[in-house]
C-alpha cells in the first residue's frame, strides 16, 4: 500500500523543521531505470558538514523518519529524506526491499555529491529502510556507517515470520511452509529478482562498514533474531542495542533520550 504524501504531512514537517531552525528544499533524482525519486534535502541551522540518508519503512513515506531527522538536524547533521521507489511521491512499479533500491541510493549519493560535497556520509533506516540502508552500504563505499533498526536478515527469513502469522517462524518453516514458498516465488516472478540475494546479512559480510543495529524486544513482525543474525555476519565495527519490550521500530518512542544518546554517540565515533 502506498501512503499518500499529503499537504498536512508537509505542513507538519515544516512546523517541526522550524523548531530546530532547519531548512528543506525539494530533491529530485533520476534512478538508473528511469524512475523519478522525490524527497528533500534538509539543512541544519549550524551544519557540521556531514550528511545522513534516512530510509523509511514499507508502506510509509519520508514523514515516517521525521522524528529521527530532528535529532540529527539539532546535532548539526544535514539530512536527505527520500520517498523510496513505489512509495510516497516516488515512481517505480514496486518495492524490491533493497535489490533495486540500493542502486537508487547510489544515484541519490551521486546527485548529493554533485552539489553538496559531504565531509562524511552516513545512513539511518527503519524496518524495510534499515534493510535498504545496509544493502546500499555494501555497494556504496561513500556510506561510512549505518544505524539500522528492525531490519530483516533476508527475504526468506522474513517470510517465515509473515507466513507464521507473526506468532512463530517455525509455523512458516513447517505447517505453513507452502505459504512461505508462495511468497518467495511470487516476489521473484513479479520483480524479476533473486530472492536469496535480497539479504542485509550478506551485505554486512561483503564490506566492512560500521553498524549500530537496534532490535526491539517486543517485535513480532521482525523479531530480534533477524538483528542478531545480521550482527553475527557483520565484518566491520559493530554495536547492537536491544530495547526491552519495544514493538516494531518503536525504540525512539519507547526510549527517546537513550535513542538520541546512542545514535549521536555512534555517528560521532565514526566521524
User: Domains of the chain by range and CATH?
Assistant: 7-153+200-269 (3.40.50.1820), 155-197 (no CATH)
- Predicted structure pTM score: 0.91
Q: How many CB atoms lie within 10 A of CB 45?
A: 12
Say yes or no to pLDDT of 105 above 90: yes
Count of alpha carbons within 13 Å of 246, Cβ hemisphere only?
21
The residues with which 242 forms a beta bridge, in sequence order, are: 215
**238 Cβ neighbours under 8 A, 6+ residues apart:** 204, 210, 211, 212, 213, 231
Q: What is the pLDDT of residue 45?
A: 98
With 0-12 / 13-18 / 19 or more C-beta atoms within 10 angstroms meaning exposed / middle / buried, residue 221 is middle
At 241, give phi and psi (nearest 5°).
-120, 120
Say yes or no to pLDDT of 148 above 50: yes
Say yes or no to pLDDT of 185 above 70: no
Say yes or no to pLDDT of 140 above 50: yes
Say yes or no to pLDDT of 256 above 70: yes
What does the pLDDT average to over 54-74? 97
**Cα–Cα separations (whole angstroms), residue 43 to 26, 50, 78:** 12, 10, 5
Q: Is 83 in contact with 90 (CB distance < 8 Å)?
A: yes
- Cα 194 to the chain's mean position, in Å? 20
Decide: helix, strand or coil at residue 29.
strand
Say yes or no to pLDDT of 9 above 80: yes
DSSP state of 50: -
Distance in angstroms (rounded) separating the CA atoms of residues 253 and 256: 6
Q: What is the pLDDT of residue 147?
A: 98
Say yes or no to pLDDT of 109 above 70: yes
Signed CA dihedral, 200, 264, 268, 109: sign only:
positive
What does the pLDDT average to over 140-147? 98
Q: What is the pLDDT of residue 176?
A: 47
Which of 120, 97, 53 has its CA nearest to residue 193?
A: 97
Say yes or no to pLDDT of 171 above 50: no
pLDDT in tens, 222-249: 999 999 999 999 999 999 999 999 999 9
* Neighbour-count burial for 91-124, b at 16+ CB within 10 Å, e otherwise: bbeebbbbbbbbbbbbbbbebbeeebebebbbbb
Could you tell me what percent of the chain has a pLDDT over 90?
A: 80
What does the pLDDT average to over 212-227? 94
Three state DSSP letters for 115-143:
HCCCCCEEEEEECHHHHHHHHHHHHCCCC
Q: What is the pLDDT of residue 111?
A: 98
Q: What is the pLDDT of residue 78?
A: 98
Amino acid at each position: 500500500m502506498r501512503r499518500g504524501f499529503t499537504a498536512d504531512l508537509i505542513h507538519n514537517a515544516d512546523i517541526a523543521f522550524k523548531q530546530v531552525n532547519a531548512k528543506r528544499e525539494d530533491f529530485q533524482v533520476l534512478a538508473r531505470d528511469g524512475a523519478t525519486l522525490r524527497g528533500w534535502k534538509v539543512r541544519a541551522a549550524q551544519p557540521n558538514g556531514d550528511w545522513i540518508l534516512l530510509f523509511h519503512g514499507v508502506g510509509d513515506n519520508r514523514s515516517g523518519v521525521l522524528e529521527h531527522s530532528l535529532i540529527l538536524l539539532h546535532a548539526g547533521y544535514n539530512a536527505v529524506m527520500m520517498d523510496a521507489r513505489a512509495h510516497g511521491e516516488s515512481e517505480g512499479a514496486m518495492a524490491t526491499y533493497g535489490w533495486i533500491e540500493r542502486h537508487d541510493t547510489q544515484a541519490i549519493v551521486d546527485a548529493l555529491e554533485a552539489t553538496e560535497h559531504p565531509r562524511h556520509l552516513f545512513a539511518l533506516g527503519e524496518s524495510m529502510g534499515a534493510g535498504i540502508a545496509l544493502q546500499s552500504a555494501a555497494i556504496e563505499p561513500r556510506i561510512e556507517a549505518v544505524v539500522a533498526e528492525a531490519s530483516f536478515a533476508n527475504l526468506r527469513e522474513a517470510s517465515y515470520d509473515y507466513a507464521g502469522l507473526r506468532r512463530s517462524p517455525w509455523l512458516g518453516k513447517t505447517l505453513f511452509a507452502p505459504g512461505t514458498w508462495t511468497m518467495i516465488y511470487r516476489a521473484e516472478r513479479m520483480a524479476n529478482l533473486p530472492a536469496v540475494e535480497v539479504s542485509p546479512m550478506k551485505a554486512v559480510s561483503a564490506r566492512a562498514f560500521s553498524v549500530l543495529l537496534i532490535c526491539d524486544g517486543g517485535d513480532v513482525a521482525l523479531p530480534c533474531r533477524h538483528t542478531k543474525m545480521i550482527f553475527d555476519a557483520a565484518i566491520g565495527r559493530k554495536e547492537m542495542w536491544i530495547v526491552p519490550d519495544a514493538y516494531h521500530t518503536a525504540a525512539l518512542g519507547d526510549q527517546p533520550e537513550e535513542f538520541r544518546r546512542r545514535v549521536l554517540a555512534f555517528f560521532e565515533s565514526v566521524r
